[in-house]
Structure 1
Amino acid sequence: MTDTKNSARSMVRAALAGLAFSTAIGLSAAHADAITVYTSYEEDEIAAFLDKAKADLPDLDVNVLRLSTGDLHARILAEASNPQHDVIWGWAVTSMIDPRIGELLEAYQPAGIDRIAEQFRDKDGKWFATTGYMAAFCVNNEVLANKNLPMPTSWADLTNPAYKGEVVMPNPASSGTGYLMIASIIQMMGEEKGWQYLKDLDGNIAQYIKSGSRPCNAASEGEFAIGASFALRAIKNIDEGYPITMVIPAEGAGNELEANALMAGSKNKDAAKRFLDWTVSENAVNEYYNWKEIVTAKGGAMPEKFKAAGLPEDIASVMWNMDFAWSAENRGPVLERWQRELER
C-alpha cells in the first residue's frame, strides 16, 4: 500500500527481487523496449508485480520511481511541461482525476480492458483502476487487555476518552490513506458534524504520522493501542504473528482506487501500451489478489489469510461509497483546514 504512501523518495530496485529490470530513471528511456513508470505502490508490491511482468514481457525494461501519493502529485505537475515518465501505475484515482493531470494523459483502452467494470474506468478512457485499498484499524489486543480498554468497532468509538493518547493515524497532507479517512468522515457525517468529529477525535490522537502503514506498525509493536491504517497492512501484520485485531469501521471503510494511465508526452508509447496491456492480464490480476484488499478485475480469488484476518469476501459490503470527484475537488480546502486547525 517501506511504509505505505510515505514520502520517502526511493528508487525501487527490482534487482533485489532477482530481476533484470533497469532502475535508473532515464538510463534506457530512449530505447523502444524501455519505459519509465511513476507509482505509489509499495516497494514490496512493486517487486512482486514486476517479477510477474518480467516473466511475461522479458524484452521490456521498466524503470520505476516510487513516491507517496501527494509527493507524486506534486512531481507530475512540476514536470508537466516536460514529463519524464511514460506511464502512471497504481496511483490514487482522487489524484488522477485532477483536471491538470487529465491534460497530460492520453486515452488508451488496453487489451483485456473488459476485465475491468466500467465503473472503475474513466469515461473518456484516460485511466482505469485495477486495485485499491481501504481504511481499517489495527488494534493491539495485549495493550487493550493490559489497560482494560474496550475493543473499538467504529470511528465513533475512537472518541471515547478512555483512548486518550492511544490512537495514531496518518497525516492526510502526506498520506493518501490519511486523506481518504478524512474525506470519508466528512462525506459520511457532513461538513459541520464531520469537522466537529475530527476535532473531538484529535483529543485522543497521540501522533499524526506521515505514513499510511506506520500507524498499524506502531500499534502492532505495542507503542499504542490503536493505529488507523489500511486493511492490507493489518492483514500482513496479523499473518506475521503480531497480536492485533483488524477492525473495519462500522460506518463503512473509506477507500481509494489505484489507477493506471498513458502519458500523452511519452516517447515510448508502443512499449508503454504493452505494459498497460499487461496490467489487466490474467497473471497480473492473479498477483494483485496476493497483495491488495481491493481488486477491480474479474478473476482471481481472495487468499485465505485475508479471510482469516477478518476481511469479508464481499468486500463491497464494508466499503463506504466514496465520492471521488468530491474528494478530488475538495482536497486543497480540506487539507488547508486540517493543517490550520489540527496538524501538530
Structure 2
Amino acid sequence: MTGSISANANSELTVYTALEADQLKMYQTSFNEEYPDIGIKWVRDSTGVVTAKLLAEKENPQADVIWGVAGTSLLLLDSEGMLLPYAPKGVEKLSEGFKSASNPPSWVGMNAWVAAICYNNIEGEKLGLPKPTSWNDLLDSVYEGHLIMPNPGSSGTGFLDVSSWLQMFGTDGGWTYMDNLHKNISRYTHSGSQPCKLAASGEIPIGISYAYRAAQLIEKGAPLDVIIPSEGVGWELEAAGIVKGTKNLESAQKLMDFAVSLKANEMYNKSFAVVALPGVAQPVKHFPPEVESLMIKNDLAWAAANRAEILAEWTKRYDGKSEPKS
C-alpha cells in the first residue's frame, strides 16, 4: 500500500513501513502537528516484502526513512551499509537494547511485540480442541488442520516465531519441532496479525500471532483467549532508521527525532505493551501480565545474520502450504 497525506507540505519523505495501515494516519497527524511542512508518502507492506524491496534497491535507494520495520531487518540493512547513522534528540533516554551499538546509532527501536497463541473458545469447544498451554501442545494430532501461522518470509511475526524456536529448542530441535507443527498447519498467511483476526472471526480455531493484536480483538468482543506458551515466547523490536543516500536528510532527521519522542512512544503504547522509553507504557487491558517474564533471551543479531539461511530452509520445507502472494 502506498499513500500520502499532507498534500500542502513543502517537502515529502518516502517512508517504508510495515506498521498496520490503521496506525499510519495517527502517527502522521501527530508528526505534522510539530512539522507541518513535511509530508509523508507511505510505502507499506509486510516486513519481509519491505526488507526485500529495500535490499533490491540498495544501489538506487528510493526510500528516505524506514519507520516501523522489524529490528532484525534493520540489523541486516545496517550490515549491508544501507543506513545512515544519526543520534535523534533524546536517544540517550531509550531503554537498553532499543538502539544500535554504534555511536551515533544507525537505527533506533520503537516498541516490541511478542508472540502468542490466539484461541477461539467457541470454535475450540465446538471442535473438541483442548486449550493449549505450550508450544509443544500444538503438536498433538487433535489440532491437525486447525492451526494457522504467518509465513516468516513475508511476516516479521512469522520470522520471530521461527527464529525463537531455533533458539529455544536448538537448531536440530527447532526444525524437528517445525516439521511436526507443519503436519497440523492448515495454511501460512502473509500477515502476522491475520491468524489472530481469523481466529477471532471463527474461520480457524487457533492462530499463532502476537499478543497485542489478541488483546485488541478481545476488547472488541472476540471470544478469544490469548495464550503465552509456557516454554517462553519470541519477540521482536520495531525500529526506525535513515536510508543512506536520502536527498531529504534534514526532514529525515526530524522524523527520527519524532520517532524517539515521548509523544511517539505514548502512541506506540496504544498498539504495543512494551515501548522504547522507560516509564511510558501503561498496563494494557486483556494483555497477559506474565508476558514480559516469558520473553526469551532473544539474540536479534544472530537472527539477522542467519535470516537468509533460515528463510531458505523454511521455504524448502513448508512453503507448499503458504497462501498465494497477492
State TM-score, norm by structure 2: 0.92
- 1:89 aligns to 2:74 (yes or no): no
Partner residue of 1:309?
286
SS in 2 for 1:290: coil
In the aligned structure 2, how far is the partner of 1:43 from the partner of 1:148? 35
Partner residue of 1:45?
23
Structure 1 residue 21: deviation in Å?
Answer: 5.3
In the aligned structure 1, how far is the partner of 2:253 from the partner of 2:267? 20
Q: Is the 8 A contact 1:105 1:264 kept in 2?
A: yes
Superposition pairs for residues 109-188 of structure 1, below 5 Å? 109-124=87-102, 125-188=105-168
Report the AA paired with residue 177 of structure 1: T
Q: Is the 8 A contact 1:253 1:320 kept in 2?
A: yes
Aligned CA distance change for structure 1 residues 83 and 99 (closer, same or farther; 3 Å)? closer
Report the AA paired with residue 321 of structure 1: K
Structure 1 residue 114: deviation in Å?
Answer: 2.1
Task: Could you tell me which runs of 5 or more consecutive residues in structure 2 were left unpaired when the two chains were aligned.
Answer: 321-326
Report the AA paired with residue 282 of structure 1: L
- 1:201 aligns to 2:178 (yes or no): no
Q: Is the 8 A contact 1:131 1:259 kept in 2?
A: yes
* CA displacement, residues 156-209 of structure 1 (integer Å, 9 cap, x when unaligned): 110112111111111112111111101101110001111111111111111111
Q: Is the 8 A contact 1:231 1:293 kept in 2?
A: no
Partner residue of 2:48?
70
* CA displacement, residues 95-129 of structure 1 (integer Å, 9 cap, x when unaligned): 11115664121110000112212422111111111
Report the AA paired with residue 2 of structure 2: M
Structure 1 residue 301: deviation in Å?
Answer: 3.1
Aligned CA distance change for structure 1 residues 327 and 169 (closer, same or farther; 3 Å)? same
Report the AA paired with residue 204 of structure 2: F
Task: Could you tell me which runs of 5 or more consecutive residues in structure 1 were left unpaired when the two chains were aligned.
Answer: 1-9, 15-19, 23-27
SS in 2 for 1:297: coil
In the aligned structure 1, how far is the partner of 2:47 from the partner of 2:221? 29
In the aligned structure 1, how far is the partner of 2:13 from the partner of 2:259? 14
Superposition pairs for residues 1-344 of structure 1, below 5 Å? 10-14=1-5, 20=6, 33-98=11-76, 102-124=80-102, 125-303=105-283, 306=284, 308-312=285-289, 315-344=291-320
Structure 1 residue 321: deviation in Å?
Answer: 1.6
SS in 2 for 1:61: strand
Q: Is the 8 A contact 1:169 1:229 kept in 2?
A: yes
* CA displacement, residues 204-234 of structure 1 (integer Å, 9 cap, x when unaligned): 1111112111111111111222100111211
**Following superposition, which runs of at least 4 residues in structure 1 exceed 3 angstroms of deviation?**
99-102
Aligned CA distance change for structure 1 residues 21 and 278 (closer, same or farther; 3 Å)? farther
Q: Is the 8 A contact 1:255 1:322 kept in 2?
A: yes
Q: Is the 8 A contact 1:164 1:206 kept in 2?
A: yes
Once superposed, what is the RMSD of the aligned Cα atoms?
Answer: 1.8
**Between Structure 1 and Structure 2, how many residues are aligned?**
318
Deviation larger for 131-140 or 291-300: 291-300
Deviation larger for 54-63 or 199-208: 54-63
Report the AA paired with residue 64 of structure 1: W
Q: Is the 8 A contact 1:91 1:259 kept in 2?
A: yes
Aligned CA distance change for structure 1 residues 99 and 67 (closer, same or farther; 3 Å)? closer
What is the percentage of aligned positions where both structures have the same residue?
A: 38
Q: Is the 8 A contact 2:157 2:192 kept in 1?
A: yes
Structure 1 residue 13: deviation in Å?
Answer: 4.7
Report the AA paired with residue 99 of structure 2: R
